[in-house]
């Protein structure tokens, strides 16, 4: 991975505070992690502390599921992060967020499939929703292996969402983009009928997305093998 422990902690603190400022996490909900694939140590935000009050010393460090560092207790959702990153060896970071619009879909247990947004077609394609699993236990990640291998962002039934990326910035960006698209979509619905992109053009966008995904995974695999 190439980053020092202190650099990793600084990244987590920065993006945790950013997500707090944007109202996408709060004291009780939402957590961020980075997996150092060289040491197999997972760095994750702690439990029960407001994200804007975090500092580097508070970031929990885990190895083989056991906390080996950090002045604060690890997030109870570390099992979710471990499962997501195990399923995506091309990724090193995860963002578990309770963004309002996406969480509303998760409460309904609905996959998100929009045909009106080029951003959505290129970056997400669709956002599938896993069935409900008990938070803080391994059951919340049940079935994640099959779903997240083809999607960087998925919903967790009755709970929230989780995104993965090669970097924490990548994971956070896709959450921000998806939430903004959904916000605009529902605003548009209040104005009138949403107009979809023509199917032939939508197909081209989806094909571009598949190619971009493939290139990205191949690039990350090569980096991992260095």
CATH number at residue 19: 3.40.225.10
Mean pLDDT by 10 residues, the chain (226 residues): 87 97 90 97 96 96 96 96 97 96 97 95 93 94 94 97 97 97 96 95 88 69 55
> What is the model's pLDDT at position 219?
64
> What is the model's pLDDT at position 1?
54
7's CB contacts (< 8 A; 6+ apart) are none
Tokens found for residue 108: 């309904």
- Prediction pTM value: 0.90
Closest CA to 144 of 75, 80, 220: 80
Domain that holds residue 198: 5-224
Residue spans of beta strands (DSSP E) within 40-197: 41-44, 60-63, 66-69, 93-97, 129-130, 153-156, 160-165
CA dist., res. 174 & res. 172, Å (int): 6
CA dist., res. 1 & res. 90, Å (int): 11
> What is the model's pLDDT at position 226?
41
How many domains, in total, are found in the chain? 1
Q: Is residue 164 a contact partner of residue 151, using CB atoms and an 8 Å limit?
A: no
């Amino acid at each position: 991975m190439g980053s020092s422990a202190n650099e990793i902690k600084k990244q987590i603190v920065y993006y945790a505070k950013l997500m707090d400022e944007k109202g996408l996490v709060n004291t009780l909900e939402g957590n961020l992690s980075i997996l150092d694939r060289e040491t197999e140590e997972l760095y994750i935000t702690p439990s029960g502390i407001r994200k804007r009050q975090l500092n580097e010393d508070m970031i929990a460090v885990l190895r083989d599921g056991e906390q080996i560092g950090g002045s604060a207790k690890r997030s109870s959702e570390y099992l979710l992060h471990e499962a997501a990153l195990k399923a995506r060896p091309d990724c090193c970071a995860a963002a578990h967020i309770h963004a309002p619009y996406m969480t509303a879909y998760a409460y309904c247990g609905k996959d998100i499939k929009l045909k009106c947004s080029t951003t959505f077609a290129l970056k997400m394609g669709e956002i599938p929703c896993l069935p409900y699993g008990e938070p803080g236990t391994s059951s919340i990640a049940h079935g994640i292996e099959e779903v997240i291998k083809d999607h960087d962002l998925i919903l967790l039934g009755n709970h929230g969402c989780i995104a993965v990326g090669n970097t924490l910035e990548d994971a956070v960006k896709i959450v921000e983009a998806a939430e903004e698209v959904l916000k605009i979509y529902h605003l548009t619905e209040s104005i009138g009928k949403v107009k979809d992109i023509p199917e032939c053009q939508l197909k081209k966008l989806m094909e571009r997305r598949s190619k971009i995904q493939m290139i990205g995974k191949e690039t990350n695999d090569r980096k991992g093998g260095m």
